[in-house]
Amino acid sequence: GKVAVGVNGYGTIGRRVAWAAGLQPDMELVGVVKTKPDYAAAQAMSAGIPVYVPGEAEAERFRKAGLEVSGTIRDLLREVDVIVDATPDGVGATYSKLYREAGVKAIFQGGEEASVAQVSFSALCNYDEAVGKDSARVVSCNTTGLLRSICAINSAVGVRAVNAFLVRRAADMHEVKRGPINSVVLNPPRVPSHHAGDVRTVLPWLDITTAAVVVPTTLMHVHYVTMKLKGNASREEVLDALRSSPRVLVVSASKSGVEGTSQIIDAARHIRPRGDVPELVVFEESVLSKGDEVSFIQAVHQESIVVPENVDAIRALTGLSDGEQSVKLTNYALGIGK
Ligand code: NAD
């Protein structure tokens, strides 16, 4: 039978993961957990997705808003094999005991400490380490982006060390109070930023340093990545390694006119659901190689890059398929790489 999936936290990530799990031939979306009876809750109900709440207090809020919920999270946990936790940073950890006691496998997000789960996960780097485990943490959007290019190049030519400068988006669409609106802010205000340590939760052997700033944009993050390789590699070898990854898109500015994040999202809005770009995007003309050093600029659509990783994590935990097959299935169902 199909693996029964529930989603706790129905925001930027949770709504997309619920949608993506519902599209997989080997999964069934049983329901989602919402705290507030807002437009996202109403949309889920209109789409026929059963909506659950954390407890009786929230059920009452929904009733007052004229919405009838399907039960509490405890009811949902009785119906699912896997719960994907997409609650805000640090909230997931407060649920981990509940998931364990319910005997349900759990997937957490990058806003949690690595210790929340048995393994930190990135499908094309360490799928096998998550197979059969009870819990996994899908690393954050920036970390997933870094790992996409690092693991693609590592499997082709070998990576010794990485240095990356991250330009982060300020907010997602619904976060009306986040900023900055007129500054470039060191975020965090120290180097190395936490992203280096987060990459090492998946690749503990890697020598990596990261620094990050946040800027007034909502669309995507942009990284300038420099790598020291295990041997010399030509620019073409590096481009081939990136192009042959199933979740990397290499775009040429001279051929497509795409020179920045707004054009990536503009193009995606015409052919992709919600204008999402779950692939890591690498700017072709930014790729530079010199001996055993390579550098390039890449863009990360923070709202969607971890979505296919969550789907693959569900397959890894439940042993539904091997990594290569899972990535293929997920990509096909979500239209990734087309
Ligand atoms: P979000 O704020 O968009 O969504 C969180 C949802 O959880 C909201 O709907 C909120 O109402 C709900 N919620 C709050 N408290 C809850 C509770 N106690 N029980 C159940 N639901 C509760 O957040 P997000 O951006 O989707 O982030 C979720 C996780 O994913 C975080 O760990 C974050 O770090 C990670 N992540 C976010 C992004 C991104 O760019 N947005 C990218 C990758 C990973």
CATH class of the domain defined by 141-300 = alpha beta
For ligand 1, the distance from its centroid to the CA atom of residue 26, given in whole angstroms, is 25
Residue 237: how many CB atoms within 10 A of its CB? 17
Q: What are the angstrom distances between the C-alpha of 92 and each of 102, 137, 211?
A: 15, 10, 26
| 23/40 Cα distance (integer angstroms) | 19
Q: What sign has the CA pseudo-torsion 73, 79, 85, 86?
A: negative
131: exposed, middle or buried (Cβ count in 10 Å: 0-12, 13-18, 19+):
middle
Spell out the domain ranges in the chain: 3-139+306-334, 141-300
Measured CA distances, 268 to 24, 82, 117, 173 (Å): 21, 30, 33, 16
Provide the residue type at 110 as one letter: G
**Residues designated catalytic:** 141
In whole angstroms, give the CA distance from residue 160 to residue 206.
Answer: 7
ipTM of model: 0.99
Q: Which of 39, 83, 87 to mutate to test the pocket of ligand 1 (most atoms within 8 A of CB)?
A: 87
For ligand 1, whether the C-beta of 330 sits within 6 Å is no
Q: Closest ligand 1 atom, CA of 40?
A: 9
Nearest to 285 by CA among 228, 235, 325: 235
Instruction: Give the pLDDT score at 337.
Output: 85
Ligand 1 center to 38 CA (angstroms): 15
Does 141-300 match 3-139+306-334 at the fold level? no
Take atom 11 of ligand 1 and give the residue whose Cα is closest.
35
Question: How confident is the model at residue 55, as a pLDDT?
Answer: 96
Question: Which CATH number does the domain 3-139+306-334 belong to among 1.20.120.420, 3.40.50.720, 3.40.50.2300, 3.20.20.140?
Answer: 3.40.50.720
Instruction: Going residue by residue through the chain, which has 338 residues, state the pLDDT in tens, using 9 for 90 and above.
Output: 899 999 999 999 999 999 999 999 999 999 999 999 999 999 999 999 999 999 999 999 999 999 999 999 999 999 999 999 999 999 999 999 999 999 999 999 999 999 999 999 999 999 999 999 999 999 999 999 999 999 999 999 999 999 999 999 999 999 999 999 999 999 999 999 999 999 999 999 999 999 999 999 999 999 999 999 999 999 999 999 999 999 999 999 999 999 999 999 999 999 999 999 999 999 999 999 999 999 999 999 999 999 999 999 999 999 999 999 999 999 999 999 86
- Does the beta carbon of 24 lie inside 6 Å of ligand 1? no
The residue among 138, 144, 137 whose CA lies nearest residue 245 is: 144
pLDDT at 250: 98
